[in-house]
Chain A
Amino acid sequence: QKEVEQDPGPLSVPEGAIVSLNCTYSNSAFQYFMWYRQYSRKGPELLMYTYSSGNKEDGRFTAQVDKSSKYISLFIRDSQPSDSATYLCAMSADSWGKLQFGAGTQVVVTP
């Protein structure tokens, strides 16, 4: 069983809707949490990062970490067709760089 579990989707939503993504993990030592967006055949693009628990908001994006439940979430408000991509959660116990990734969730925002 993988340390980081993420539903691969695809997740299809209409334009303007809220996209809700989540990952669960088993390693209680994880304390660095990130969300990346990856377009087809491109490098992962850092969207949000959080250390330990709590919420973080940046524009249309909100990241939440619940360490007691070993659960992290990403919400995208007012979704746009350009948000269509694969979203990867990533986490680490000891640094921002040596990451364990989830499988990625494919998101499709339809006009």
Chain B
Amino acid sequence: AAGVIQSPRHLIKEKRETATLKCYPIPRHDTVYWYQQGPGQDPQFLISFYEKMQSDKGSIPDRFSAQQFSDYHSELNMSSLELGDSALYFCASSLALSTIYFGEGSWLTVV
């Protein structure tokens, strides 16, 4: 079965640079969630979108922004990167408000 696709899988950026992560939800899923998992930590909810509109917001820094496009894929934009932004970023998708399924994650390393 098709799963949530995230790209790139690995990304290395320098401090103060910008990074963009992409997420392609499971086909027919209309809701996308972004989570951040720091080293040795549990995933933290960042933001979610339902039918291309922001549906909820968690602990997402102001330097980060996200959107969901007409084909339901989503992008997470991170600017002025800091060392503490180094983490595994997960995207998850669901059909409406049903249970969510996670992608494999994108590893961001800020040096």
A residues apposed to B, CB below 8 Å: 34, 36, 41-46, 49, 88, 95-104
Beta-carbon contact of A97 and B42 below 8 Å: no
Confirm or deny: B97 has a beta carbon within 8 angstroms of a beta carbon on chain A. Answer: yes
Pull 24 A–B residue pairs with CB atoms less than 8 Å apart, ordered by A: A41-B105, A41-B107, A42-B104, A42-B105, A43-B4, A43-B103, A43-B104, A44-B43, A44-B102, A46-B102, A88-B43, A95-B97, A96-B97, A96-B98, A96-B100, A97-B33, A97-B48, A97-B97, A98-B33, A98-B56, A99-B43, A99-B45, A100-B45, A103-B42
Confirm or deny: B86 has a beta carbon within 8 angstroms of a beta carbon on chain A. Answer: no
Confirm or deny: B8 has a beta carbon within 8 angstroms of a beta carbon on chain A. Answer: no
Confirm or deny: B92 has a beta carbon within 8 angstroms of a beta carbon on chain A. Answer: yes
Most B CB within 10 A of own CB, among A41, A97, A98, A102: A97
Chain A to chain B: the 4 pairs with minimum beta-carbon distance, closest first: A101-B42, A43-B102, A96-B99, A43-B104
Q: Mark B45-83, 1 if CB is under 8 A from A, else 0.
A: 100100000001010000000000000000000000000
Beta-carbon contact of B103 and A98 below 8 Å: no
Distance of A41 Cα from B37 Cα, bound (Å) = 10
Beta-carbon contact of A43 and B90 below 8 Å: yes
Main DSSP-derived SS at the A contact region: loop
Distance of A43 Cα from B37 Cα, bound (Å) = 10
Number of B interface residues in the complex (CB < 8 A): 25
Which chain A residues border B58 with CB–CB below 8 Å? 98
Which chain A residues border B4 with CB–CB below 8 Å? 43
Closest A residue, CB atoms, query B31: A97
Which chain B residues border A98 with CB–CB below 8 Å? 33, 45, 48, 56, 58
Beta-carbon contact of A97 and B100 below 8 Å: yes
Which chain A residues border B104 with CB–CB below 8 Å? 42-43
Q: Among A45, A49, A95, A96, which residue has its beta carbon within 8 angstroms of that of B102? A: A45
Distance of A94 Cα from B97 Cα, bound (Å) = 10
